[in-house]
A and B are shown apart, each in its own frame.
Chain A
Amino acid sequence: MKWDWNAVSDFMPMFWHGLLVTLEALALGAVLAFVLGLVWAMMQRSEHAAVRWPVMAVTEFVRNTPLLVQLFFLFYVLPEWGLTLSALTTGVIGLGLHYSTYTAEVYRAGIDGVPVGQWEAATALSLPRARTWFAVILPQAIRRVVPALGNYVVAMLKDTPMIFVIGVLEMLGEARQYSAQTFHTVEPITIVGIAFIVISYPASLLLRVLERRLVR
């Protein structure tokens, strides 16, 4: 095995492009996971079983099937039904949907952690339901679970290479493409590996700081 610095500099433009795509998929996927997860968590608290049960079924199903299978399904099966999305869009939806079922559990724990007295005070003041959720309950619930949500962003980062299988040229995709063209494998894959550590380790440290400050 030989390390070729020329291959490194040769690969860098593709790497930067891949990094950008990875971060884009991560950012959009995380936003989707945060929003959808919150929707699931709130629907699971509905008074109506007709709302609770379908949400429960869908989230259990998505959480208990592999992300890889979901990505293939979204990319290859949905077009059969007339819904064709770009690879990146499909990747973002796949990541966001999959992780929303985890963030939903995180939100649920946060919501359960808000003392029942807070709900009772909101009732005693006749606050409208939406106001109770968004002004009283969620600000308290989310504060506690920010670190846990952050952990899922780091986990999601490490799952972004999966969207390579549906043709998104994120970091790993670019590395594979480069090695297919040049037969240099060690350098691009190593760079990608280092990039993941460089992003995720500081993120974990940041989360630990957040945890100390927010969860009291």
Chain B
Amino acid sequence: MSADSSPSKETVNPAVDGSELIRFDKVTKRFGGNTVLDSLDFTVSSGKHVTLIGPSGSGKTTILRLLMTLIKPDEGTIKVGGEYLTHEDRGGSLVPAGEKHVREVRKHIGMVFQQFNLFPNMKVMRNITEAPMHVLGLSRDEAEERARELLDLVDLTEHADKYPTQLSGGQQQRVAIARALAMRPQVLLLDEVTSALDPELVAGVLDVLRDIAHSTDITMLCVTHEMNFARDISDDVLMFDAGRVIESGSPEKIFSEPDHERTRQFLSAVL
């Protein structure tokens, strides 16, 4: 991982193969007259756990939403696994990607939302099996077996036959994590996944994510205000301000001796 706008880079363990998995190339995103991302460049290597920190409105969540194709960039390109996400290379020129292409590249990406966004009309089991069956083409048995393994991982085995509304917020979020993982994504996007939870439920969700971070080689991009969690799981931390990466580096460095005054201000406000 490196941020071109920052001097520090590649401070982290090269455990996984480390090839470039995500690349933002001069990505600009505006909402109305407000420029949320300003010609942003950054890359994430395969297997890395990257945390995006910074004040609200600094563009962190926008990055995740761009990667999930929930929104489109105004300028610039995004590559995932060497493939353009929102563009297609047609005869040497870059054109906006068709639905089929986006679908194909997007399959490698999973997302967990702040508000869980479970499907309330489906039981927990079907929330998890729906996409593997209808997107990956797994049989019901295969999908349910996979779902049971994941429910075991998130410690909700006995809740498979409940509806989401019968679960606590923390349990719902763990189902959402299982649902995202059931697609076996290469990249997992975590968008403030504990912000909507009651304080006593946060730990359970973070424990599950720690487990996943330490036991799999899945690449994680995480927007969070849980700085201890960020310190725990991150290989790299990116500090955002006003749509730019102003500083990046290992959690030890960013949290202990940041270079940038703005980072110091931010951290002293949240820690």
Seen from chain A, the residues whose Cβ lies within 8 Å of a Cβ on chain B are: 115, 117-118, 120-121, 123-128, 131, 135-136, 139-140, 143
**Residues of B with C-beta under 8 A to A139:** 121
The verdict on B120 contacting chain A, using a C-beta distance below 8 Å, is yes
Within 8 A of A (CB), among B95-143: 103, 106-107, 109-111, 113, 115, 117-122, 130-131, 134-135
The verdict on B69 contacting chain A, using a C-beta distance below 8 Å, is yes
Whether B69 lies near A123 (C-beta < 8 A) is yes
**Residues of B with C-beta under 8 A to A121:** 113, 117-119
**Residues of A with C-beta under 8 A to B110:** 124-125
Closest residue of A by beta carbon distance from B107 = A126
Closest residue of B by beta carbon distance from A47 = B99
With A125-B179, A127-B135, A140-B121 known as contacts, the answer to whether A120 contacts B113 (CB < 8 A) is yes
With A120-B70, A136-B121, A139-B121 known as contacts, the answer to whether A127 contacts B131 (CB < 8 A) is yes
**Residues of A with C-beta under 8 A to B121:** 136, 139-140, 143
**Residues of A with C-beta under 8 A to B183:** 125-126
Whether A124 lies near B68 (C-beta < 8 A) is yes
Closest residue of B by beta carbon distance from A129 = B99
Whether A117 lies near B135 (C-beta < 8 A) is no
Closest residue of A by beta carbon distance from B135 = A126
Whether A124 lies near B134 (C-beta < 8 A) is no
Within 8 A of A (CB), among B163-192: 179-180, 183
A125 and B120 alpha carbons, distance in the complex (Å) = 15
Contacts between the two chains (Cβ within 8 Å), count? 57
Across the interface, B68 reaches (CB within 8 A) one of A118, A123, A128, A131, namely A123
With A117-B115, A120-B113, A136-B121 known as contacts, the answer to whether A125 contacts B131 (CB < 8 A) is yes
| Interface size band for B | 20 to 34
Can you list 10 A-B contacts with CB-CB less than 8 angstroms, sorted by A residue number? A118-B119, A120-B113, A120-B117, A123-B69, A126-B106, A126-B135, A127-B130, A131-B134, A135-B134, A140-B120
A120 and B121 alpha carbons, distance in the complex (Å) = 16
Whether B115 lies near A126 (C-beta < 8 A) is no
Decide if the interface of chain B is mainly helix, strand, loop or mixed: loop
Across the interface, B130 reaches (CB within 8 A) one of A123, A124, A135, namely A135
**Residues of A with C-beta under 8 A to B107:** 126
Closest residue of B by beta carbon distance from A142 = B121
**Residues of A with C-beta under 8 A to B103:** 126
Whether A126 lies near B113 (C-beta < 8 A) is no
A118 and B131 alpha carbons, distance in the complex (Å) = 14
How far does the Cβ of A174 sit from chain B's closest Cβ, in whole Å? 44
**Residues of A with C-beta under 8 A to B134:** 127-128, 131, 135
How far does the Cβ of A51 sit from chain B's closest Cβ, in whole Å? 15
How far does the Cβ of B87 sit from chain A's closest Cβ, in whole Å? 18
Whether B113 lies near A123 (C-beta < 8 A) is no
A59 and B70 alpha carbons, distance in the complex (Å) = 31
**Residues of A with C-beta under 8 A to B109:** 124
A123 and B150 alpha carbons, distance in the complex (Å) = 21
A126 and B182 alpha carbons, distance in the complex (Å) = 12
Closest residue of A by beta carbon distance from B131 = A125
How far does the Cβ of B100 sit from chain A's closest Cβ, in whole Å? 11
Q: A123-B68, A123-B70, A135-B122 are in contact. List 19 more A-B contacts (CB 8 A).
A: A117-B113, A123-B69, A124-B70, A124-B109, A124-B110, A124-B180, A125-B110, A125-B131, A125-B180, A125-B183, A126-B135, A127-B134, A127-B135, A131-B130, A135-B119, A135-B130, A139-B121, A140-B121, A143-B121
